[in-house]
Amino acid sequence: CSIRHYKFNVVLRNTTRLCSSKPIVTVNGRFPGPTIYAREDDNVLVKVVNHVKYNVSIHWHGIRQLRTGWADGPAYITQCPIQPGQSYVYNFTITGQRGTLLWHAHILWLRATVHGAIVILPKLGVPYPFPKPHKEEVVILGEWWKSDVETVINQAVKSGLAPNISDAHTINGHPGPVSSCLSQGGFNLPVEPGKTYMLRIINAALNEELFFKIAGHKLTVVEVDATYVKPFKTDTILVAPGQTTNVLITADLGTGKYLVAASPFMDAPIAVDNMTATATLHYSGTVSTTSTTLTTPPPKNATPVATKFMDSLRSLNSKKYPAKVPLTIGHSLLFTISLGVNPCRTCVNGSRVVAGLNNVTFVMPTTALLQAHFSKISGVFTDDFPGNPLMPYNYTGTQPTNFQTMKGTRLYRLAYNSTVQLILQDTGMITPENHPIHLHGFNFFAVGRGLGNFNPKKDPKNFNLVDPVERNTIGVPSAGWVAIRFRADNPGVWFMHCHLEVHTTWGLKMAFVVDNGKGPNESLLPPPSDLPKC
């Protein structure tokens, strides 16, 4: 294994999209940002230098960070932010992972423009468990606001209401022609007839789960969230914010141009966003005047398409890549996901929309939780997060009329190496909605999924404990539930939150604190000397 050095200069860059320009926060002046390339077992060192007026931190989404929580990145959870003019070296080793992940800013809404791919190749000499593609391409999905994104969120926080939706979705930074700006080009994917390509598709959008499809071509899914899956063919894939999906595509049509489309999946009844980002798959030798073969993306409420895709995902579970599903349960947890309305003195309407897990709206601390945990600083957090709803109700049926949530910086404590089963239960509070929940520090197995209320007697009988998909971000179905299992083998403080940034802002987040183990390799390492201070 080797050491990979990267330098991330966080700088402003004037950028034009949708026929208008604005300065955006970028890494090295690029949008999307640079790709990190590494191999499994490599040590990665990224020096982040903050040249902008905002506080910054970078998260390596999906990297397990075994014992190196200090390099995980979420501001005020594992580190204080990097202040203007300061720098910090993220130092971590990629252990037992290969595939596609993403990095992104983890403070405010900066990740709208501060994100990029992480490509982890297998160890030298180790092949993919599928035929080697002719070429690989990173495809990053995102979204674009014409106005300044920090202004958008600040206005929303002040009003207590939802922020404005974005003005476009993007594929590798470009929306493609839209009615408001027909002249802009889109991303172009050149292919040679007969060859097979691997697309490393990343959803870096703030608030949108996205369908992705290519006219006339099937996609063979081979990996999600940097874990191999049993390959299967599909027309359409679904990628939630924070998720990644590798697909193989064979350029078997010989010639022509084909539309690539990314469009939102939103099954909430109040969903408003219906924009499609487009790109072009272009066979070499095709003249540019050739018209593009079109495709119709699924409608935004195409729940059956989403369900079929999610149900098709299975861990590869081969001899070489076994699915190590925990078969016993140490901690048995159920977290409800709900929206609510709390009083707010500073808000225009005197109230604000909030969100909670088990009716707790997470309050961000002003110093890093990991530091408080490591240095035993009291008064920063409590470890009394409720493992189960305090007052169970019919989660997906008639709702209680009290929409208020409790507030607190409450963590849930896990014993080192204990096994966890967590049911994530969506509720009908205000509105049921699909929530992509992301857990830092671990991969988990999605062993079960259903609609309505989780039934603790019946549902576990149908759990897949053999080859469930392993990932770091999972869509909890609207008015339904998912069951995940993981082993708490990573000491530290680990954030868990909805990866729809608007919901995180509203408080749909919490953290686990995992104790040190007894063995020499079972403890959190001490903090690096350049760890930022608050």
Q: Which residues bind ligand C2O (CB under 6 A)?
A: 59, 61, 74, 104, 106, 242, 438, 440, 495, 497, 499
* Nearest by Cα to 438 from 497, 362, 485: 497
Whole-angstrom distance, CA of residue 360 vs CA of residue 174: 38
The nearer residue to ligand C2O, 40 or 72, going by C-beta atoms, is 72
Question: Helix, strand or coil for residue 309?
Answer: helix
- Kindly state the tokens that stand for 221: 């899914």
Q: How far is the CB of 336 from ligand C2O (least distance, A)?
A: 20
Q: How far is the CB of 440 from ligand C2O (least distance, A)?
A: 6
Q: How far is the CB of 243 from ligand C2O (least distance, A)?
A: 9
- Residue pair 36/52 in contact (Cβ under 8 Å)? The answer is no
The nearer residue to ligand C2O, 108 or 260, going by C-beta atoms, is 108
Whole-angstrom distance, CA of residue 190 vs CA of residue 285: 10
The nearer residue to ligand C2O, 206 or 261, going by C-beta atoms, is 206
The nearer residue to ligand C2O, 65 or 286, going by C-beta atoms, is 65
Beta-carbon count within 10 A of 463 CB: 17
Could you give phi then psi for residue 12, rounded to 5 degrees? -80, 150
How wide is the angle at C-alpha 211 spanned by C-alphas 206 and 213, nearest 5°? 135
The nearer residue to ligand C2O, 368 or 479, going by C-beta atoms, is 368
The nearer residue to ligand C2O, 259 or 496, going by C-beta atoms, is 496
* Nearest by Cα to 418 from 328, 492, 488, 486: 488
Question: Helix, strand or coil for residue 70?
Answer: helix
524: CB partners within 8 A, 6+ apart: 67, 69, 370, 374, 491, 492, 516
H/E run at residue 152: helix 149-159
- Residue pair 103/528 in contact (Cβ under 8 Å)? The answer is no
Question: The tokens 């999972």 sit on which residue?
Answer: 474
Q: How far is the CB of 240 from ligand C2O (least distance, A)?
A: 11
The nearer residue to ligand C2O, 59 or 449, going by C-beta atoms, is 59
The nearer residue to ligand C2O, 115 or 449, going by C-beta atoms, is 115
Q: How far is the CB of 78 from ligand C2O (least distance, A)?
A: 10
Q: How far is the CB of 242 from ligand C2O (least distance, A)?
A: 4
- Residue pair 344/351 in contact (Cβ under 8 Å)? The answer is yes
Instruction: Identify any residues that bridge with 15 across adjacent strands, giving them in sequence order.
Output: 22
Strands (E), 284-391: 292-293, 331-343, 351-357, 360-362
The nearer residue to ligand C2O, 87 or 243, going by C-beta atoms, is 243
Q: How far is the CB of 111 from ligand C2O (least distance, A)?
A: 7
Closest-by-Cβ residue to ligand C2O is 61
Q: How far is the CB of 106 from ligand C2O (least distance, A)?
A: 6
- Residue pair 129/228 in contact (Cβ under 8 Å)? The answer is yes
Q: How far is the CB of 257 from ligand C2O (least distance, A)?
A: 34
